[in-house]
């Protein structure tokens, strides 16, 4: 009898910690949608049980362990399925540090006692800055030299998955399109000089990639480094020209975009630099991934975003924040191509997976109709779940022989440990289904490593 008791106690002590309910952070950047118009505001209000300030911008809903917007563990599911709120002051980061096995052995071996990804929802009312994220080597150098500006030493590959129609600038346009820009936007030629422009116009597709990148870097750096007075003059001149031309012809999508940007950021070099970048339009359910050292700017819409756990941003336009033009212009890859749009891969009738070429993360989108169920199989890494619509019951079962269940509604955010199977079921009488997103370590990391 005594031996059985000891074995039961060991078994109890070896149990994997249960899934955790999280209270998450919000960022009120000025480009966010205002008040009730913002999906971020609605999710944050439901998640935090706080009201929405009607005149305040709500830009980003953060789920994860980054120090600039940490999530807190506020509820733990017990044997009965009930919850308690006695650990509200515990950050998810510190809770994981005390329970590292929730990450799984391979994740701990690769990234230590922290989540390797940061999960967000974004509500974009006006354009974010022209920016890029450094690779690991540059991130370490920037953090060591300017720790107040670059808060961590990690790289920040990221992926945006559209919740609504979503617009972005991403990567440099093709050589052919760039030549068209120089023929059709005289203000850019006047700003950078005819010598720089002629260099681009005389490059052809047969020239080596390094030469094409060098010429692009030269003209882009000249553009971004132009003095404020000259930029203001050329932006105003371009605006006046396009308004006049709109009376006799239909403006192109890019021309209409730069006029929108000019209204948001008058006299800003980012307005002109938009001509150099691809204008990408995502439909709901489409995703865009961004590697290190690639220029981009989100323009409008709402999305789920996932990235490596970092907040390093090098900005150079369309912003009132600090600009670091020399760093941005020196770090870019200057790759000229249209970005890849991910449609996702269906795992079953209700779940679609988006797998960018980065180890740190992948995202699953679950759209579950009323009265249906689906299973997320146990995986060897942790997951974050956020419900963006509807209501459902979730049941958790782990290899440590315990089972819990919870009801999730819009705004619910859960941390789910490694090796935990998740069953999601919607009611037949609720009158609605469920929209659920999961972020986790990229499955290729487990299969290929």
Residues 241 and 317 in one domain: yes
Is 402 labeled as ligand-binding?
A: no
φ, ψ dihedrals at 117, nearest 5°? -130, 155
pLDDT given for residue 149 in this prediction:
78
- pLDDT of amino acid 78: 43
Cβ 115 vs Cβ 24: under 8 Å: no
DSSP secondary structure string for all residues of 118-164? EEEEEEESSPPPEEE---HHHHHHHHHH-TTTS--S----EEEEESS
CA distances from 1 to 8, 10, 12, 32, 260 (A): 11, 14, 16, 63, 77
3 labelled as ligand-binding?
A: no
Residue 33 belongs to a domain: no
pTM of this structure: 0.90
Return the H-helix or E-strand segment holding 303. strand 296-308
Q: What residues does 392 pair with on adjacent strands?
A: 408
| Residue that terminates a domain, selected from 316, 342, 368 | 342
Catalytic residues: 315
Q: What single string gives the DSSP state of each residue in 361-381?
A: -EEEEEEE-TT-EEEE---SS
The answer to whether residue 325 is domain-embedded is yes
pLDDT for position 5: 52
Total number of domains in the chain: 2
Whole domain around residue 393: which residue ranges?
345-448
Q: Give me the pLDDT at residue 160, please.
A: 97
- Judgement on whether residues 394 and 430 belong to the same structural domain of the protein: yes
The answer to the question of whether 296 is labelled as a binding residue is yes
Residues 299 and 155 in one domain: yes
Task: Tell whether 442 and 387 lie within a shared domain.
Answer: yes
Structure tokens belonging to residue 169:
């600038």
Which residues, 6 or more positions from 172, have their beta carbon under 8 angstroms from its beta carbon? 178, 216, 220, 276, 277, 278, 295, 334, 335, 336, 337
Residues 199 and 282 in one domain: yes
Last residue of a domain, one of 311, 342, 373: 342
- CATH code at position 358: 2.60.120.10
**Residue 321: per-residue pLDDT:** 83
Counted residue by residue, the chain has a size of 449
List the CATH number of the domain containing 233.
1.10.441.10
Query: Has residue 322 been placed in a domain?
Result: yes
Tokens of 245: 């031309």
Same domain, yes or no, for 221 and 294?
Answer: yes
Distance of CA 149 to the CA centre of its chain: 20
Answer yes or no: is 158 a known binding residue.
yes
Residue 76, domain member (yes or no): no
Q: Mean pLDDT per 10-residue run, the chain (449 residues)?
A: 48 70 96 98 97 97 94 66 52 96 96 95 96 88 83 84 98 95 97 93 84 94 96 97 97 97 96 97 96 93 93 86 90 92 96 95 97 95 97 83 79 96 86 92 87
Is residue 317, in this structure, part of any structural domain at all? Answer: yes
One domain, residues 141 and 266: yes
């Amino acid at each position: 009898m005594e031996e059985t008791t000891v074995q039961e106690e060991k078994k109890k002590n070896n149990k994997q910690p249960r899934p955790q309910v999280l209270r998450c952070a919000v960022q009120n950047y000025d480009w966010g949608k205002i008040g009730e118009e913002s999906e971020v505001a609605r999710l944050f209000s439901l998640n935090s049980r706080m009201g929405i300030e009607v005149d305040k911008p709500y830009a980003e809903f953060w789920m994860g362990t980054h120090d600039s917007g940490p999530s807190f563990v506020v509820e733990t599911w017990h044997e009965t399925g009930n919850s308690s709120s006695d650990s509200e002051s515990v950050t998810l980061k510190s809770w994981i540090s005390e329970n590292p096995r929730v990450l799984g052995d391979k994740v701990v071996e690769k990234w230590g006692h922290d989540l390797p990804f940061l999960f967000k929802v974004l509500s974009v009312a006006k354009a974010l800055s022209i920016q890029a994220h450094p690779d690991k080597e540059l991130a370490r150098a920037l953090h060591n030299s300017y720790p107040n500006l670059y808060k961590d030493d990690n790289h920040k590959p990221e992926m945006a998955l559209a919740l609504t129609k979503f617009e972005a600038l991403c990567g440099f346009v093709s050589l052919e399109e760039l030549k068209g820009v120089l023929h059709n936007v005289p203000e850019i030629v006047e700003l950078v000089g005819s010598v720089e422009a002629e260099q681009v116009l005389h490059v052809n597709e047969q020239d080596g990639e390094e030469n094409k990148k060098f010429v692009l870097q030269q003209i882009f750096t000249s553009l971004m480094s132009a003095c404020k007075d000259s930029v203001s003059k050329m932006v105003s001149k371009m605006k006046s020209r396009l308004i006049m031309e709109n009376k006799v012809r239909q403006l192109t999508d890019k021309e209409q975009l730069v006029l929108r940007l000019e209204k948001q950021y008058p006299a800003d070099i980012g307005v002109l630099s938009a001509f150099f970048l691809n204008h990408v339009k995502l439909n709901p359910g489409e995703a865009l991934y961004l590697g290190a050292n690639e220029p981009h700017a989100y323009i409008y819409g709402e999305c789920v975003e996932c990235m490596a756990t970092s907040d390093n941003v090098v900005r150079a336009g369309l912003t009132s924040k600090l600009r670091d033009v020399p760093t941005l212009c020196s770090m870019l890859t200057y790759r000229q191509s249209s970005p890849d749009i991910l449609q996702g891969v269906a795992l079953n009738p209700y779940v679609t997976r988006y797998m960018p070429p980065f180890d740190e993360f992948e995202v699953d989108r679950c759209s579950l109709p009323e009265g249906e169920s689906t299973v997320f199989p146990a995986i060897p890494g942790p997951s974050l779940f956020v419900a963006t619509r509807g209501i459902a019951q979730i049941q958790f079962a782990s290899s440590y022989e315990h089972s819990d269940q919870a009801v999730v509604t819009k705004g619910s955010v859960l941390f789910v440990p490694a090796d935990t199977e998740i069953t999601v079921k919607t009611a037949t009488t609720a009158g609605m289904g469920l929209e659920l997103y999961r972020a986790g370590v990229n499955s290729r990391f487990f299969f290929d490593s």
